[in-house]
Amino acid sequence: MGTSLLAFLILGSLLTGPSRVFCQLSLPSILPNENEKVVQLNSSFSLRCFGESEVSWQYPMSEEENPNVEIRNEENNSGLFVAVLEVVSAAAAHTGLYTCYYNHTQTEETDIEGRRIYIYVPDPDVAFVPLGMTDYLVIVEDDDSAIIPCRTTDPETPVTLRSNDGVVHASYDSRQGFNGTFSVGPYICEATVRGKKFQTIPFNVYALKATSELDLEMEALKTVYKSGETIVVTCAVFNNEVVDLQWTYPGEVKGKGITMLEEIKVPSIKLVYTLRVPEATVKDSGDYECAARQATKEVKEMKKVTISVHEKGFIEIKPNFSPLEAVDLHEVKHFVVDVQAYPPPRISWLKDNLTLIENLTEITTDIEKIQEIRYRSKLKLIRAKEEDSGHYTIVVQNEDDVKSYTFELLTQVPSSILDLVDDHHGSTGGQTVRCTAEGTPLPDIEWMICKDIKKCNNETSWAILANNISNIITEVHPRDRSTVEGRVTFTRVEETIAVRCLAKNLLGAESRELKLVAPTLRSELTVAAAVLVLLVIVIISLIVLVVIWKQKPRYEIRWRVIESISPDGHEYIYVDPMQLPYDSRWEFPRDGLVLGRILGSGAFGKVVEGTAYGLSRSQPVMKVAVKMLKPTARSSEKQALMSELKIMTHLGPHLNIVNLLGACTKSGPIYIITEYCFYGDLVNYLHKNRDSFLSRHPEKPKKELDIFGLNPADDSTRSYVILSFENNGDYMDMKQADATQYVPMLERKEAAKYSDIQRSLYDRPASSKKKSVLDSEVKNLLSDDNSEGLTLLDLLSFTYQVARGMEFLASKNCVHRDLAARNVLLAQGKIVKICDFGLARDIMHDSNYVSKGSTFLPVKWMAPESIFDNLYTTLSDVWSYGILLWEIFSLGGTPYPGMMVDSTFYNKIKSGYRMAKPDHATSEVYEIMVKCWHSEPEKRPSFYHLSEIVENLLPGQYKKGSPFL
């Protein structure tokens, strides 16, 4: 049983009330006039009480408990009131305090105040005065003293107090008991009468928390209900356990209500009393009061709350504006509606019977809960517009009611003229001027006329056009509540005049003017205007044609040779290719060249497959590629092609660039004869062999040292098809060095004047044969023409070869400016060759090139300094090399997939955005890409360094047998 519940068992014995003074009377008197008296057992005794008003007795036992007590009232001759208490056959239970008091001083709230006498009735068989069960519960508040009420029937009887720990020393009074500070636990009183030992039943001491002040809180979840709901009210008492709480409410008399108590001790003591009134009716409306009383310290506290119960739900709308409201254009205005409703309502706003969209930026609504049943809804116009005019309705609804309120809003708009035109009446010479104006309120139209055109700039020359003038008719026709049309009709106009339309309302005015020309003069002006318009059209057409011609893209070679660099490294001077010499020994007779199919065609020229007879002594018949311009080429484009030829002769040969074999510059169009690359460009090769690659590598490699299916420790088991080259593998002059062992192109099998070229193996589908990773990759490494498929080692080989080719160009101070997989060709033996294929590409319709001015640029491959500062260097080529690696290891994917070249793209590049690692690249390869994409050019690796890095990634046996190393 909790301590709080034990406290309530004793409240009946603890609670008394304060007294009220009826009048100033002296205390009653008692006879015998003694403080205490000992009465013999079974004898009779009487007590007489005298007072100035009616008096009564309070004694230890009521008449029902002890019928041996009789009280009667008497009057004596002195006018005093007398109450006589007689006891017949006195017993131990009659031991106690007898009090005489005035009747009018007795209340339920205070102790009785009067005259007292204590009676002892010694009984050898009853040592202690009998007590009620609640008297054995002793409540200790904090560290206060308490009384253990073991009173003896004989004042001379010695008493000992014992606890579980032994004898307890405390002050003893036979009329009260032991008084002192006691710890919690049971206590027993012992006494010996005539050699006989007596013990009381245990007195249980409990420590309850009580404060000098009551901390009382009252809370109602709701104060408004409707019939049938349950009213719930709570009162909480803090830090006090000795408390009595009484509820007062409308349904208390009928016993309607359930009270519950919950005791909470953590983090502090809290007693929560909950009153529930189920099935509430309107009659349950009123004040609900809880009164708490701290029993022993006479402390009281009271709280109350007013509850209202309605038959059903309700809604009340109180707008803070009128049914017709006006707002100025661009004004900010709020319309506030106060709502009282229960149950909680749903509030919505309509405009012209259509629900307002919540995400409007210039008309917003919000709902604020002010109190339990009070709400406030606001319609906000941020910047009032003309179209905001209309009928606005607030709709408030709950499960029991629906109410609405509608008001009309007019946006006041200054007058403005929409249109001012004149209509001619044909041969009659009459004219009508129509002026259409709008505004709220509706504008007034006023007409003015100026008859002297030369002086119309002077305001004094204008005169108001009055109504009902001969030959002039004015009319006004409202179209709607905000638009009006005014008309003025001149039956005949014989000279040029000016007419002004003035539209005005309360918010502003606007005017426009119009000239009316006499019919004879109008025809002359019409002819002059037609000639002038025709002349303007011709001039504009010529300008457009010139601009289009100048903006037409022109062919230019992307490769540039650096002549010098400024000290700050931000300005480069390039060699003028036309100043370079051309060695006539490169000239090849046209009749020794047979042209075949077109390999590529662009806006400026094309590259065709050809067969050269007598170009090399070791190869009398050689397949070549021939670059040429279209017949419509301009002189600047011919000059560009010649510049390309001179740069190629200036650079010299290298294994990993498309080398010059000869040229035809005389007696006809310029032909540049270069090596024929069997497999075409690298992008298409990767696309065509994607399936075979994926079939060989179904999963991404996990081990960095074994990503190519080769174990470096097992080099002895590897064999490769090796190509041998003189001069450290560099290309020699194919025309003059006949002894060079060159990897031959596919030769034609039969002599013909116009070759019927075989289809390359590149056009054949990938082999479907399943081979082990080891066999297929070893056989395909720099293999002969019968090789098929694509491996991870091939991708790394391409990466290495491009780095070597670019290292060669960089050593010659040559900047490529368009390094990409589409400008890398693949020859037999999977030899990579760098070229500039722009002549044979339709860059105007190629999505990889973006128009900038009169040229098209490969923006996705360009370094930031090239895009934003037009700066091209070897280090900007390094950036493009990183993009090329991404193309290779994504098997020909387009860089920055899904991204358009627009302002967002440029901002991302500026802010440091870089592509993620492609699917088939290792972490080492991706690290190379990231280094190439450093935002600071000087921190990017050189092509020499890149060659070394990639070389270290190649297997050992590859390095021993490769012609590239």
- The amino acid sitting at 557 is I
DSSP code of residue 36 = E
Q: Is 493 annotated as a binding residue?
A: no
Is 66 part of any known ligand binding site? no
- Tokens 């919950």 sit at which residue? 262
Asked if residue 823 belongs to a known ligand binding site, the reply is yes
Q: Which of 963, 693, 944 is nearest to 827 (CA)?
A: 963
Nearest to 311 by CA among 380, 378, 400: 400
How many other CB atoms sit within 10 Å of the CB of residue 742?
19
675 annotated to a ligand binding site: yes
Which residues have CB under 8 Å from 741's CB, separation 6+?
724, 725, 726
**CA gyration radius for the chain?**
58
Q: Choose among 651, 803, 660: nearest CA to 735.
A: 660
Per the CB < 8 A criterion, the answer to whether 809 and 952 are in contact is: no
Q: Please report how many Cα atoms fall inside a 13 Å half-sphere around the Cα of residue 96, on the Cβ side.
A: 19
Q: CA 237 to CA 913: how far, in whole Å?
A: 65
The answer to the question of whether 889 is labelled as a binding residue is: no
Strands (E), 534-648: 560-565, 572-574, 593-601, 605-613, 621-629
Nearest to 224 by CA among 296, 275, 282: 282
Tokens of 190: 């012992």
Q: Is residue 679 annotated as involved in ligand binding?
A: yes
CA angle 122, 123, 127 (to 5 degrees): 90
DSSP β-ladder status, 363-369 and 354-355: unpaired
Beta-strand runs (E) in 370-424:
374-381, 390-397, 402-424
DSSP string, 435-503: EEEEEESPPEEEEEEES-GGGTTSGGG-EE--TT-TTEEEEEEE-SSSEEEEEEEES---S-EEEEEEE
Does 849 show up as a binding residue in the annotation? no
How far is 797 from 805, CA to CA, in rounded Å? 12
- Peptide bond before residue 941 is cis, with ω within 30 degrees of 0: no
Residue 606 marked as a ligand binder = yes
Cα(296)–Cα(240) distance, integer angstroms: 12
Does residue 829 come out as left (phi exceeding 0), alpha (psi in the -120 to 50 range) or beta? Answer: left
> Do 746 and 678 touch, CB atoms closer than 8 A?
yes
Q: Do the annotations mark residue 810 as ligand-binding?
A: no
Would you give the DSSP letter of residue 60? S
Phi, psi of 845 (to 5 degrees): -120, 15
Q: Which of 284, 388, 794, 818 is catalytic?
A: 818
877 is catalytic: no
610 among the known binding-site residues? no
Q: 7, 177, 4: which is closest to 97 by C-alpha?
A: 177
Q: Confirm whether residue 614 is marked as ligand binding.
A: no
Query: Is 671 annotated among the ligand-binding residues?
Result: no
Residue 604 annotated as lining a ligand binding site = yes
Q: Is residue 676 a known part of a binding site?
A: yes
Rounded distance between C-alpha atoms, residue 607 and residue 593, angstroms: 14
Check if the beta carbon of residue 757 is closer than 8 Å to that of residue 748.
yes
Q: Tell me how many degrees the CA angle 169-174-176 measures, rounded to the nearest 5.
A: 85
Q: Is 602 annotated as a binding residue?
A: yes
Task: Kindly provide the residue ranges of all beta strands, DSSP E only, lying in 575-733, ordered along the sequence.
Answer: 593-601, 605-613, 621-629, 660-664, 671-675
- Do the annotations mark residue 627 as ligand-binding? yes
Q: Are strands 431-440 and 483-490 parallel, antiparallel or unpaired?
A: antiparallel
Annotated binding-site residue? 680: yes
Residue list, annotated binding site for ATP: 600-607, 627, 675-681, 822
Residue list, annotated binding site for Mg(2+): 572, 823, 836
Catalytic residue numbers, as ranges: 818
Residue list, annotated binding site: 572, 600-607, 627, 675-681, 822-823, 836
